[in-house]
Structure 1
Amino acid sequence: MAANNSNFTCPNVCPNYEKVVEKPPEYLEAGMSRGSENPYASSYVPGQIQPPEKKVYPAGAPPKYLPQPTDSTSGDILGMGPIGPWAAGHLDWTPQAGTTGVRPVVDKYSITRYSTGEWRKHNEYILTPIATDKAKATDINSRKDITNAFINLDNKQADSNKKLEKRVKDLSYWKKRVEETIKAITDEINTLDEDRTRLKGACRILNMPEAISRECLELRTNRYEPDLVRDDAEQELIKEVSIVGEIRRVFNNTLAKVEEQMIMNKAAKTSIEFDWSDKMVSLKADKRNLNLTPESNLLLYHPGVARWPENATTLEYWEHFCSESIRNCDEVRIKSENLRKDLSTIIAKGSQDMKLQADRTNYALAETVSATEELCEKLEENLKDNLQKIADVENLIDYLKDALRKVDERAKLVMTRLHVRNYDRPNVENCRDEAQYALIAEAKFIKETSESLCDKIREAESVRSELMKYRGDLEKQIRRKKNSRLNIDQDRLARVRAHMPTPKEFAAG
């Protein structure tokens, strides 16, 4: 503003000032001449002097001591005659006044040098309060500049506050998302820890069916020789032990994966918590900055802070880092959730397989017990028939012995008769008559009958011995079946396998 008004008086000091557009002076070029004579020069003529004329100034003209619109600083308006300003010397108050070589003629009284216009201009310069006007202008400009400066400062501060408020909102948004992510990963860690505990419990519970299966196999080794067979129940028990081993291997592998996933979950949680801590510190700092005003306490100078820190990042990288941090944590959490689903599936299917195999084993044992019971019933029926046969054979033997006694009595009778006839008939009376032939034939028949009865008795006794042996075998087999198969498979194995864990116990851990 001062530069624009340097060519004329300040309008704030002279409000009624109207700029006078003056025509620029025209100067002769080098080598040109004014002419042979001065147009204003005139010769003196007596009686030419006129009485004084009253000067008339236009309306609204400034005071007489200030420059007038009719003033001129050029000496050409004055004639160069015997009287007038030129009488005492030469050019001395033109615009070139003061230039070396054009000094006026000096008389003994004064130096005539300046024109009236210059005098008035000098008066205007003296009367014009330049310093005061400058002070007022400076005051006005300073106040205006200060007002504008504070308006700009307020605008800048409002813009900074607006940007800080937006930054606080952005930080609050990301902090909320990070808190949600932390809560989700924390819940996932707790849930995975519960599932890990459940899996460890399932591994411990798995020792029971293995011990039960092995004990069942060991108990079945106490069976007697004929019943020591590799039947379906034996096959199912061996398969049960194998399934338990496979399930334990799968459980242990899954537990190792869970332990590794737990480490990844805790690492992700630690990373996202560091991010949350940084955001909390930044949010607290920005909120404190947002609440600061020029009237706040503890405002200090911190030279050199108006610069970018060495570790400063771009806004795009910050947003990328925030989203990537949350995405990485979510990826770890989703992987953990999938592992938990696999873990639950493994436990459920493993317990289901154990239950199905236990059912198969129990079914095979039930089939074995049922077959053994049927066999025992059949053996008992055979034993009952055998006992009846033994009784019948014994009755037969008694009958044969009784018959043999009767035959022996007949033999004694015949022998007595023959003895009497042979030794008691004298001489010719001891003849071979028909009675003698009949008695001899009777004796022979009795002897044959006696021998036949003895053979029958011996055969019956042999049959009775065989029946008695078969009876012993039946009784032994019945006792063995009841002691080995029924007692072991039905009673002892049933009591042991009654403690077989259920799928609910596996799921509960």
Structure 2
Amino acid sequence: MDVLVSRPQFDSRSVAQGVPEKDPPVELEVPQPSSGSATAGYRSAKYTTGEWFSKYHNILQQASIDSGEARSVQRESRITYQDTAAATLKTQAEGTRLLGERLQEIHYWKSELQRHIERLLADTEALLALKTRLEKALDATEIPYAISTDNVKCRSRRLGPDLVRDSVEEELLKEVDLIRSIQALLKRTTAQVVSQIKTNREAKQTLELDWSDKYQAYGFDDHSGRHSNTSHDTQHHPSSATVQEQVCNRSSWTKFTQDNLSKAMQEEQATSQLRVLVEQMLRDTTEDLRVQCSSVDRAFSQRCVELIEAKTQLEMKLAQILEQIGAQERNIVALQQAIHNKEAPLRVAQSRLYLRSLRPNMELCRDETQLSLEGEVRQIDSTLASLHQQLSEARGSLSHLEESRMELEKDISCKTHSLFIEREKCMNHRKRYPTVSTLSGY
């Protein structure tokens, strides 16, 4: 059956179609299809010869136009991809160069961070050693403190007049106060060192975190720089080119690391100053303790010399007193014997006078004999009185000598006890005083 299609509207004239005019062909009588109202505006699938020529000429012309346009597009495409290839290679080379520079920059800052991390680590180790020295020095002060307080307690057991506030006691009290102040200073310094150690570790941790980030960034950038157009591990990441709002700029990145390094250098300087301070403080405290110890030892030695001298003088005086006591005792014995020797002559004289008093009447006269006997009795009585007086004085003197002997012996015993405390209890104990190295915390 015939297919009805809409009739194309075109000029079928040869002039309009660009076809050279030829003699019109003889049209054959072709039966025309029905052109009733049912087929109005439609035609059959068959074209005329003119339409056939016109159709393929149009196709040829359009193909020529398309071919020309294609050649133009090809020329432009060739220019474009050559230009873009060069630009892409240039951009890629610039990116690779910038990656190399970035790697150098990261490596520089990473090296700086590593250097200061090692410094902080060394400073922290040095501070830990100083902390140990301070703790040892603090422990070492316990021995001098115990020695000094023990010396004070021992000397409080001195007897009688020897319980005096002398130069030794003053120096000992100075030593006790000095040790207490040094202990307080060592505790404060130890706390300061511990605080600096904590600060150093915090600064070191900050640098380590920054170093770790730069280490990872260096690895990523190094891996990125090794990518090439022939690499097999590249792939598309369309969203990676999107600018992130929270990404820092280069100046902020540099300032962040510089601030961390500046903080680290401040702590390094503070550590260095603290170490110098602690070293000087340990030297000063050690020297102060040893100087005060020498002062106390000199005071002890001087006091012992004084005690020995006093004890020697007391012993010499005691020997003299003992000699005097012996002489006085012998004198008392002699006086008693003298008094005893006067009793017989006194009895004789008194007996004579008594018998002569019995003479009768006128015979009882005061003759020369009577006067002589009365004078003899008076003489003997006077002599006895004098002897008794001497005996009383001798006994009083002996009593005083005995008292002096007792005081001397008591004082000698007191000095002996004091010497024992000073030399045996105190000075021997002070031989355990720590050395300079021990007081310095070594």
**Which band: TM-score by shorter chain?**
0.7 to 0.9
Q: Larger C-alpha radius of gyration, 1 or 2?
A: 1
Counterpart residue identity of residue 310, structure 1:
E
Q: CA 1:392 to 1:144, structure 2 compared with 1: closer, same or farther past 3 Å? A: same
State the partner residue of 1:395.
Answer: 330
How many residues are treated as equivalent by the alignment? 393
The aligned runs of 1:412-423 (5 Å cut-off) are 412-415=347-350, 418=353
Q: Secondary structure at the match of 2:95?
A: helix
Task: Find the aligned partners of 1:260 and 1:179 in 2 and give their Cα distance.
Answer: 23
**SS of residue matched to 1:186:** helix
Measured against aligned partners, the alpha-carbon deviations of 1:333-353 in whole angstroms (never above 9, x if no partner) come to 211222222222222222222
| Residue of structure 1 aligned with 2:239, choices 304, 307, 310 | 304
Give the letter for the 1:374 counterpart: E
Query: How much does 1:416 deviate?
Result: 5.6
Residue 232 (1) aligns with residue 167 (2): yes
Is 1:450 the counterpart of 2:384? The answer is yes
Equivalent in the alignment of 1:498: 431
Matched with 2:148 is 213
Distance in 1 between the 2:356 and 2:226 partners? 162
What amino acid is the match of 2:394? A
- Distance in 1, matches of 2:313 and 2:134, equals 50
1:453 Cα deviation after fit: 1.0
| Residue 396 of structure 1: how far off its partner (Å) | 2.0
Structure 1 residues 132-151: aligned runs within 5 Å: 142-143=77-78, 145-151=80-86
> Structure 1 regions of 5+ residues with no counterpart?
1-96, 111-121
One-letter amino acid of the counterpart of residue 440, structure 2: A
Tell me, in whole angstroms, the C-alpha distance in 2 between the residues paired with 1:421 and 1:332: 128
Instruction: Give yes or no for contact 1:418–1:439 (8 Å, CA) kept in 2.
Output: yes
Answer yes or no: is 1:329 the counterpart of 2:329: no
Is 2:205 aligned against 1:270?
Answer: yes
Q: Is the 2:307–2:419 contact (alpha carbons within 8 Å) kept by the matching residues of 1?
A: yes
Name the CA distance, whole Å, in 2 between partners of 1:393 and 1:109: 198
Identity of aligned residues (%): 27
Cross-structure match for 1:369:
304
The whole-number CA distance in structure 1 between the counterparts of 2:24 and 2:311 is: 175
Q: Compute the displacement of 1:147 (Å).
A: 4.1
Aligned to 1:507: 440
Rounded to whole Å, the distance in 1 between the matches of 2:246 and 2:128 is: 38
Q: Which amino acid aligns with 1:373?
A: I
Equivalent positions of 1:30-109 (< 5 A) are none
Report the residue type matching 1:395 in the other structure.
Answer: R
Alpha-carbon distance in 2 for matches of 1:319, 1:188 = 25
- The one-letter code of the counterpart of 1:224 is L
How many angstroms apart in 2 are the aligned matches of 1:350 and 1:323? 40
Aligned-pair CA distance for 1:178? 0.6
Asked if 2 retains the 8 angstrom alpha-carbon contact of 1:351 and 1:502, the reply is no
Residue identity matched to 2:285: G
Three-state SS of the structure 2 residue aligned to 1:304 is helix
Match of 1:204 in 2: 139
Structure 1 residues 103-151: Cα deviation after superposition (integer angstroms, max 9, x where no partner): 9xx99769xxxxxxxxxxx9xx98x977667666666665554444333
- Please, which of 108, 116, 131 is the counterpart of residue 181 of structure 1? 116
Deviation string for 1:12-57 (max 9, x for gaps)?
xxxxxxxxxxxxxxxxxxxxxxxxxxxxxxxxxxxxxxxxxxxxxx
- Per the alignment, in what secondary structure is the counterpart of residue 337 of structure 1? helix
- Paired letter, 1:486: L
Alignment of 1:453-492 (within 5 A): 453-483=387-417, 485-492=418-425
Evaluate the alpha carbon distance shift between residue 107 and residue 491 of structure 1 in structure 2; reply closer, same or farther with a 3 A threshold. Answer: closer
Q: Which range is displaced more, 161-170 or 221-230?
A: 221-230
CA distance in structure 2 between the aligned counterparts of 1:289 and 1:241, rounded to whole angstroms:
71
Q: TM-score, normalised by structure 1?
A: 0.70
Residue 241 in structure 1 maps to residue 241 in structure 2: no
Aligned mates of 1:236, 1:132 — CA distance in 2:
119
Q: Residues 409-444 of structure 1: CA distance to partner in whole angstroms, max 9, x if unpaired? A: 443454465566666x78766643323322321221
Provide the C-alpha distance between the structure 2 equivalents of 1:375 and 1:410, rounded to a whole number of angstroms.
52
1:215-239 per-position Cα deviation (integer Å, ceiling 9, x unaligned): 1111112111322222222222222
Q: Give SS of 2:239's match.
A: coil
Are 2:171 and 1:171 equivalent residues in the alignment?
no
CA distance in 2, matches of 1:417, 1:178: 135
Q: Which amino acid is 2:435 matched to?
A: T
Match for 1:499: what amino acid? R
TM-score normalized with structure 2 length = 0.80
Structure 2 unaligned runs (5+)? 1-14, 26-56
Residues 243 and 354 in structure 1, CA contact (< 8 A), matched pair in contact too: yes
2: distance between equivalents of 1:456 and 1:332?
Answer: 96
